[in-house]
Amino acid sequence: MTASALIPSSARSLPLAVAAKGARIYDEAGLDYIDASSGPLAVTLGHGHPRVLAAIADQFNAVDYAHRTQFRNPAAERLAVLVAERLGGDLGHVMFVSGGSEANEIAMKFAHMYWAARGLPDKHLFVSSSVSYHGNTAGALGASGQPRYAANYRPLVRAGETITAPQVYRLAVPEGSSAGAQCIARLRSEFSRLDLRRTAAVLFEGIGGSGSGALVPPPGFLEELRALCDAHDVLWISDEVMSGFGRTGKWFAFQHSGAVPDIVTFAKGAGGGAVPLGGAALSRKVWGEISAVYPAMSGGHTFTNAPLACAAGIATIEALEEEHLLPRVAAQGAWLGARLRALRAEFPFVGDVRGAGYLWGVEFADPVTAEPPDPALDVTGKAVAAAAASRLIVYPARYCVDGTRGDAILIGPPLTATDEELDELLARLHATLASLAPLFPAP
């Protein structure tokens, strides 16, 4: 490989991407890779969606940039309404940023401002679940239930408190109970041990991502979280950065439950996947209290409410609706999940398959004991490399069991993936798993 001025992003030698269309990326040798993870579960509309391109070009020709403290702009105004309508409830107060970490940072600021406005400035701590991931900036990383991710810069990151994520795989369930009931009972008892007097909010992923390997909250779990937050004066921030914008077959994953959060964060697929766009939506209650004291949000970024990104966001919502992608993902997602689960028969080291829509975690485990692999083996890294060798892009979910152990990959194709692309994805995944089999010798 020729020397590069770019700081490497992977210890692996990576192909050079020179073209991309739909669910495929092509390297400089013309080889095609099936993008089975939409990059980092972001490229919702597939690569090179013409509608996003046209919207950006039109916006560039109209108003390429106008700063939020100097002008309002029609794209941001309209996108805020479209997002609020799809969120439902009274989550009608929206601010746009450039990504998921920024979205969670501003959500945390808003949560603190809410309590400060109510005369409770001590409420500034954040609780997340162990395991989870909320971003790579200092605040969002500190609030992530994956301490290893901060290992190289620990002194810069303030670690938050955690509750146990609702993992049902490997959970011992007593006679007459259910895994969901166990998780809910544990949530209740852990909640009561938190420093609730100083807690501003709980951050919880609608459906988990790379931190947990697509953990799905069991039925009733989010409703219980809602009730506990209300009972103890704590806000609930639903992090929909990965699970939002149709990825799980609903606009937002919390909508699989009957509970509504106080704040929702989103990013990744919000701009179709290629355009940096994220944001936070606040309920009427939250913005009402804040705005009584702070009529405007002074903290922001250069690209907050940026017209180009918001134009891409509008085009994304329009494309998701006109191409009927949510119902397709709901239906095809069930099919994809069934096909992934079926792999367990042939590859018994596929321990658990969980997810919804086009967000699936495939977790590896000992075929006999269900124990996670020895972390020293780096099964996740080997799986990602083996997939790449089969020209398949999957996303790693390391340490997904408890922050130190757990190997999984995420499968989440673009929501626009064709039947042919999905079949090719599964064929290449099959080849990937076959090449991993020697790591798990039969007993």
Ligand X SMILES: Cc1ncc(COP(=O)(O)O)c(C=O)c1O
Binding residues for ligand X, rule: CB under 6 A, are 40, 99-101, 104, 133-136, 205, 209-210, 239, 241-242, 267
Smallest distance from ligand X to CB 136, Å: 6
* Residue of closest CB approach to ligand X: 100
Burial of 2 from C-beta contacts in 10 A (0-12 / 13-18 / 19+): exposed
CB of 247 to ligand X, least distance (A): 10
Distances (CA, A) of 253 to 244, 246, 340, 430: 6, 8, 20, 28
Q: How far is the CB of 438 from ligand X (least distance, A)?
A: 31
Q: How far apart are CA 344 and CA 36, in angstroms?
A: 19
Of 339 and 354, CB closest to ligand X: 354
Nearer to ligand X, 273 or 433 (CB): 273
What's the min distance (Å) between Cβ of 163 and ligand X? 16
Nearer to ligand X, 380 or 390 (CB): 380
The Cα–Cα gap between 279 and 221 comes to 25
Number of H helices, E strands in the chain: 12, 15
Identity of the residue, 222 or 426, whose beta carbon is nearer to ligand X in the bound complex: 222
The three-class DSSP label of residue 360 is strand
Which CB sits closer to ligand X, 196 or 242?
242
Whether 180 contacts 196, CB under 8 Å: no
Strands of 125-220, DSSP E:
125-130, 161-164, 199-205
- The nearest distance, CB 202 to ligand X, in angstroms, is 14
* b/e map 185-195, b = 16+ CB within 10 Å: eebeebbeebe
If the CB atoms of residues 239 and 407 are measured against ligand X, the closer one turns out to be 239
- Identify the residue whose tokens are 């400060």: 116
Closest approach, Cβ 412 to ligand X, in A, equals 11
